[in-house]
Structure 1
Amino acid sequence: MDARFTPEQDHIRRTLRELLRKRCAPGDVRAAVDTPAGYDPALWTALAEHLGLPGLALPETHGGVDGTTTTELALAAEELGRALAPSPLLATAVLSAPLITALGTEAQRADLLPRIASGTLTAALAIPGTTLSTVLSLTGEPRRDWAGGGRAGGVQATQRPDGWRLYGQVTQVLDAHSADLLLIPAHTGGYARSRTLLFLVQGNTPGLVRTRQTSLDPTRPRGRLELRDVAAELLGEEADVPGSPSAHADAPLQGRGELRDQPPPARGKRTAHPAEPFARVGDIAAAVLAAEAVGAAARILELTVEHAMAREQFGRPIGSFQAVKHRLADVYVQVQAARSAAYYAAWATAREGERVGTLALAQAIESLRTAAAEGIQLHGGIGFTWEHEAQLYFKRAAGDELLFGPVHRLRAHAAEAARLFDESDAGEVAV
């Protein structure tokens, strides 16, 4: 493994950092999150057209750059994390585009992926924020209902002569209020034979009501979806729906939307709902989110060091005191370790069977939480005020842990998946 960045990757980092320095200052971030979309469309257009960020992990045949690893996406995410830049990159390129690539028909991929790569189409995966981490196999296996939720049983799908129709509600969905395209899991087949399939819904479809919701981290906007007899298109082959000749027991999503271990589908068959793509998306998302958290941690550490060298107490900068030096040094070591883990996880996404993204994400979130907390404390009275940007980094740390963590569950699930401990005696390492 060569840990050095290529000249192209260094160019991505330099160019993106310069662009964000000019277009994404703290005042610009606050102005962007207060808009209805929750981000600056002009900045997103620049990121897509000039740097091609949405297409970094897409096939070259569909307008992408055919990246073999997630390293380029991780580089972009680290720079976006430094600035806390609100953008649809996570929901569109990290969560939605890989599912369309893996599950969509050739016509769907040819229609949607080039527009995603160009930045003219944004997308969102309509999974509630409370279950997103388990659906992506980050903190556990998706053994419970994740197609919406609520008293009505989440989102329901019925097939009519004119096509599929959805009804129900989903809350706390990343970028659901502004995305042009929605990937919505829905129950099909009735109570006795219920299965969960993925559907495509255009953002302007009649009967779809979208509302932006308040979130702890304003730079990661979320929305609520209300579906009232909404027209939808199945993601994948129409032959794989319940009741068709090819719909049989090899489908891994069954039993009221629960994910169960089932034999793989027949060779050459594209199913609309395999479990493996969700785990694959989760591994990519973990590596990208880890790099993003590292960028945020590094930036708040820089701000804290600058303040410590400028703020004087007893006639000398507080950064010259040994206790402050030790605390900042500990944060620096933690951030650098998290950066190494994040980029190793990004490189490992291309290796079959090697999934370390969950551990990297746990370490990165913990480093961001520590750096943000130390930053607020060492900034003194100004650190926790609304006007100072330190509180935004603290909210990013807390919001990421609520949405994708917590840290102890990320590590526990990684240990369970790797079978580090014997089931008969959880306190002893298996031999």
Structure 2
Amino acid sequence: MDAAFTEEQDEIRRTLRELLHKRCGPDDVKSAVRTPPGYDQALWRQLAGQLGLPGLALPAAYGGADCGPTELALACEETGRVLLPSPLIATAALAAPLILALGSGPQRAELLPALAAGELTATLAVPGGRLATALALTGPNAGDWAGGGRAGGIQARAVSPQRDGGAPGSSPGELPAKGGWRLYGEAAQVLDGHTADVLLVAAHTGGFARSRTLIFLVRADAPGLVRTRQTAMDETRPQARIELRDVAAELLGERESDEAAVADALAAAGTEAAAALAAEAVGAADAALARTVEYVGTREQFGRPIGSFQAVQHRLADLYVAVQAARSAAYYAAWSAGGARTGDRRAAEPGVAGLALAQALEALRKVAAEAVQLHGGIGFTWEHDAHLYFKRAACDELLLGPVHRLRARAAEEAGLFAARDGGTAPGPVAADVAREAVDA
């Protein structure tokens, strides 16, 4: 592994940092999150049109920059540094890899160039707030997490091609001549779900006999689709509740994939998304630490800056080590994900991405807590900038974690602990031992 970045990668980081420094200060972030979309649409168009941010990891054949997970991770580190509210993670790290992996030729030709150019945004809707499970980050994603049985989650029903129209209440000819699908159910905590132009919905179908989870495309203007922005503690990560009331949908792919293929695609997308999210958390932690170091150098107590006290220096040194360790883990996870995409089996190490995400989330949580503490009385006020990072740390772990489950899953994938039968297959014992080690 060559740990040095190329000139192109350094240029991506430098250009993006300069732009965001001018356009995305704390006051700009607070103003953007209070708009109906939850982000600065003009800035997003600039990032997409001039820098090609959402297409960094897409092939050139679909209008992308033909880079990879490493370049996307570097970009996410810079967006995390300023806590940029944008549909980047939802579009480039969650939806685009799934369309690339599972989509049919016409679907990829239609959607991926538009996503790369920023003309469309997309997201992944998973029922029950089980995004981390669907991406195989906190446990196996095989099973009925999308809503098994006759009720609950999101259900998909095939519509016969002989039907003249859709479900009751739909207009004739609403579905394609070859038939289609109808979705009903609900999903909460959908990243940027209230503004996404395309929703990738994980839904259960097949009833009891052929129970399986498939991915469907739902357009934003589909009749029966209700989207409501949710109130979240971290306003920089907009989330929405999606209600599907007998909504027409299109299967992602040319034909029904088996459940294993869908699970594999979700897990592969989870690997790339975890690397991007880890880098984003590292960027946020690094910025919060830099702000704290600057503050303790100016705040005086007993006639001298508090940063000159050895106890404060030790706390900051511990945070610096944690951030650097998390950064190394995030970079390695991105490199590993890039190797997996190109077929380099030496780089496709199991559990690396989840472990890096756990390391980064824990580092961000520690840095954000210490930032509040070391800012003194002003740091405890809810309006202070330090709380932007504190809220991001708390909500990311709720959405993607918790940390001990990420680590337990990574241990299972890597085969670090033996199962009850003496083998190395993942099992409940591995999770229990890993959790006890983390708690200790």
Flag whether TM exceeds 0.5 (same fold). yes
Q: Which residue does the alignment assign to 1:338?
A: 326
Partners in 2 of 1:100 and 1:49 — Cα distance?
A: 21
> How many angstroms does 1:156 deviate by?
1.9
Q: Which residue does the alignment assign to 2:289?
A: 301
Q: Which residue does the alignment assign to 1:40?
A: 40
- Does the 8 Å CA contact 2:148/2:211 hold for their aligned counterparts? no
**Which amino acid in the other structure matches residue 293 of structure 1?**
A
Structure 1 residues 148 and 220, CA, compared in 2 at 3 Å: closer, same or farther? farther
Q: Which residue does the alignment assign to 1:422?
A: 418
Q: State percent identity of aligned pairs.
A: 67
Match of residue 252, structure 1, among 230, 242, 259: 259
Q: Which residue does the alignment assign to 1:313?
A: 301
> How many angstroms does 1:56 deviate by?
0.6
Q: Which residue does the alignment assign to 2:370?
A: 374
Partners in 1 of 2:127 and 2:331 — Cα distance?
A: 28
Structure 1 residues 91 and 149, CA, compared in 2 at 3 Å: closer, same or farther? farther
Q: Which residue does the alignment assign to 1:231?
A: 248
Q: Which residue does the alignment assign to 2:438?
A: none
- Does the 8 Å CA contact 1:55/1:63 hold for their aligned counterparts? yes
**Which amino acid in the other structure matches residue 360 of structure 1?**
A
Q: Which moved more, 1:159-168 or 1:412-421?
A: 159-168
Structure 1 residues 252 and 421, CA, compared in 2 at 3 Å: closer, same or farther? same
Pair 1:137 & 2:136 matched: yes
Superposed CA RMSD in Å reads 1.9
Partners in 2 of 1:139 and 1:47 — Cα distance?
A: 32
Partners in 1 of 2:156 and 2:125 — Cα distance?
A: 14
Q: Which moved more, 1:156-165 or 1:378-387?
A: 156-165
Runs of at least 5 residues in structure 2 that lack an aligned partner in the other structure: 162-174, 340-344, 423-428, 435-440
Runs of at least 5 residues in structure 1 that lack an aligned partner in the other structure: 242-250, 254-272
Partners in 2 of 1:36 and 1:29 — Cα distance?
A: 14
Q: Which residue does the alignment assign to 1:403?
A: 399
Deviations 1:302-360 (A, max 9, x none): 11011100100010000000100110011001101111111011011123331311111
> How many angstroms does 1:192 deviate by?
3.2
Q: Equivalent residue of 2:380, what SS?
A: coil
Deviations 1:250-292 (A, max 9, x none): x235xxxxxxxxxxxxxxxxxxx53211111111111111100
Partners in 2 of 1:148 and 1:374 — Cα distance?
A: 40
Partners in 2 of 1:204 and 1:376 — Cα distance?
A: 43
Deviations 1:138-165 (A, max 9, x none): 1111245332689932222222233222
**Which amino acid in the other structure matches residue 382 of structure 1?**
I
- Does the 8 Å CA contact 1:80/1:292 hold for their aligned counterparts? yes
Structure 1 residues 341 and 30, CA, compared in 2 at 3 Å: closer, same or farther? same
TM-score by length of 2: 0.87
Q: Which residue does the alignment assign to 1:196?
A: 213
**Which amino acid in the other structure matches residue 91 of structure 1?**
A
- Does the 8 Å CA contact 1:156/1:186 hold for their aligned counterparts? yes
Partners in 2 of 1:129 and 1:289 — Cα distance?
A: 21
Partners in 1 of 2:297 and 2:349 — Cα distance?
A: 43
Q: Equivalent residue of 1:310, what SS?
A: coil
Deviations 1:179-237 (A, max 9, x none): 00000122222343232211111111111110001122111111111112211111001
Larger helix proportion, structure 1 or 2? Answer: 2
Partners in 2 of 1:149 and 1:110 — Cα distance?
A: 32
Q: Which residue does the alignment assign to 2:169?
A: none
Q: Which residue does the alignment assign to 2:204?
A: 187
Q: Which residue does the alignment assign to 2:170?
A: none
- Does the 8 Å CA contact 2:38/2:238 hold for their aligned counterparts? yes
**Which amino acid in the other structure matches residue 154 of structure 1?**
G
Partners in 2 of 1:135 and 1:210 — Cα distance?
A: 21
Q: Which residue does the alignment assign to 1:245?
A: none
Pair 1:388 & 2:405 matched: no
Partners in 2 of 1:40 and 1:129 — Cα distance?
A: 29
